Amino acid sequence: MMPDENFASSFAARWIEGPGKVSGGGGDGGGFGYWQPRTQHLPQQQQQEGSPAIPPYTDFDRSYFRAYSDIAIHKEMIQDRVRTETYLAAIMKYRHLIFDKVVLDVGCGTGILAIFCAAAGAKRVYAVDASEIAELARHVVEDNNLSDRVTVLFGRVEDVSINEKVDIIISEWMGYMLLHENMLPSIIFSRDKWLKPGGLILPSHASLFMAPVTYADRYHERIGFWRDVHGIKMSAMLQLAKHSSHREPHIEIIPRENVVTRPILVKDVDCYTVTIQELESVTTRFCVTSTLRAPLHGFAFWFDAAFGGPAVYPSEQHLQLPLMGPVDKISRVLCHKKQEMGSDEEIMLSTAPGKPPTHWKQTMLYLYDPMTLNKGQKIAGCVTVSQSKENRRFLDIRLEFSVGGRTRVKVAEMR
């Protein structure tokens, strides 16, 4: 395992095991004193007439939320400057829409985005999280004297009760290769239940991309060990090593120069209109041309998230609006962010190869055996990304493609 994969793998490992196998309550709990994560069984709401259908609360969901009660994942996310500062820039850009309005933060974690929105002048923010980190988020809100404007609700957004419509929904829901974790249906649920007509969703759009990659160093690094072990030929292990290493996708940085074609758009998501059903399985055909003569080692996936405005865009009165006072330091950061960017600049969180790295890195699917690619050669095929039948937060990937008359099928599960 590469050192840079440790975090991703250990996070996933906490919730992939499924019912009954995850030990403890997540986090070590030691030293917190007042906060010990518990394995709570939150009540599941009955569906009300006219409301979107409430999905069942499965044991897989419990494992998933328990993983988010660990502090390490929240630190990793907040320390991802590209991620956190892009949200901050978006909040600044739309401050005129947030000011004096009601915001819903779906999956608030530590409360950071909810607090940014309060600092930008939101009248009320509902910060919802089904992980026990929500209990700490409540303390964070209190410590920043924001309890009168930020209400932390511990529970699934599908189960909590909010007795008013909201003007803005903000959420950081994107998983590896965008759809892993399958959190987007919770944003769709919130949109359909609470968002006012003409309301704002941040981010507003997202796109999943894929591209063929050459990466000899990494490919051989994983399996090359078996060629010579203390002078003993162990090539007999190679097939097994390839299967074990390349069966599942790897989360790693792919240098831009290793991408051998233009990106292939796998799925475009418009958060204002996307449906839960269309996320169950996504299929895209492609035909791209190699810009290099190089061995093809696999395919990389990544996503962009765009922070566009609502369909009807009110005039920009935001430059005169004051920032709210109680969290002075945050207000100063927000002011600084405002100065850094022009208000017309499009705000985009890109996790593409060659862009400043994020904690999502790229998701790389290695072939068991490389294929020779010539410059100008076509790579044509079809990719399907679907929710796993076993656990809808996992992804099944099926990639069928041809190069120069040779066809390959690569199947992988992202757990």
Rounded CA gap, 53 and 360, in Å? Answer: 30
387 binds ligand SAM (CB under 6 A): no
113 binds ligand SAM (CB under 6 A): yes
For residues 36, 43, 144, 121, the Cα torsion angle rounded to the nearest 10 degrees is 160
Q: Is 252 a catalytic residue?
A: no
Catalytic one among 172, 278, 340, 413?
172
For residues 383, 389, 390, 393, the Cα torsion angle rounded to the nearest 10 degrees is 60
By CB under 6 A, name the one of 115, 118, 130, 140 that touches ligand SAM: 130
Which positions from 253 through 292 interact with ligand SAM, judged by CB under 6 A? Answer: none
Q: Compute and round to an integer the Cα radius of gyration of the chain.
A: 23
By CB under 6 A, name the one of 86, 131, 214, 362 that touches ligand SAM: 131
107 binds ligand SAM (CB under 6 A): yes
DSSP class of residue 23 equals -
211 binds ligand SAM (CB under 6 A): no
Q: Which is nearer to ligand SAM, 156 or 191 (CB)?
A: 156
Which positions from 288 through 347 interact with ligand SAM, judged by CB under 6 A? Answer: none
Q: Which is nearer to ligand SAM, 74 or 218 (CB)?
A: 74
Segment interacting with ligand SAM, rule: CB under 6 A, options 46-54, 153-161, 207-215, 220-228: 153-161
Query: With contacts defined by CB under 6 A, how many residues of the chain interact with ligand SAM?
Result: 22
133 binds ligand SAM (CB under 6 A): yes
186 binds ligand SAM (CB under 6 A): yes
Which residues lie closer than 8 Å to 274 by C-beta, 6 or more apart? 184, 188
Whether 29 contacts 362, CB under 8 Å: no
Burial of 9 (0-12, 13-18, 19+ CB in 10 A): middle
Q: Which of 73, 84, 188, 194 is nearest to 131 (CA)?
A: 73
AA identity, residue 402: S
Q: Is 49 a catalytic residue?
A: no
Q: Which of 298, 293, 299, 290 is nearest to 220 (CA)?
A: 298
77 binds ligand SAM (CB under 6 A): yes
Catalytic one among 181, 221, 248, 345?
181
65 binds ligand SAM (CB under 6 A): yes
To ligand SAM, the closest distance from the beta carbon of 411 in angstroms equals: 27
108 binds ligand SAM (CB under 6 A): yes
Q: Which residue is nearest to ligand SAM (CB)?
A: 107
Segment interacting with ligand SAM, rule: CB under 6 A, options 35-43, 152-160, 201-209, 374-382: 152-160
Q: Which of 392, 395, 388 is nearest to 64 (CA)?
A: 392
Whether 109 contacts 129, CB under 8 Å: yes
183 binds ligand SAM (CB under 6 A): yes
By CB under 6 A, name the one of 11, 15, 60, 68 that touches ligand SAM: 68
AA identity, residue 411: V
| DSSP codes joined into one string, 51-120 | SPPPPP--HHHHHHHHHTTSHHHHHHHHH-HHHHHHHHHHHHHTHHHHTT-EEEEES-TTSHHHHHHHHT
188 binds ligand SAM (CB under 6 A): no
| Burial per residue of 376-385, b for 16 or more beta-carbon CB atoms within 10 angstroms, e otherwise | ebebebebeb
153 binds ligand SAM (CB under 6 A): no
Interface contacts to ligand SAM, rule CB under 6 A: 65, 68, 74, 77-78, 107-110, 112-113, 128-131, 133, 156-158, 172, 183, 186
Catalytic residues: 172, 181
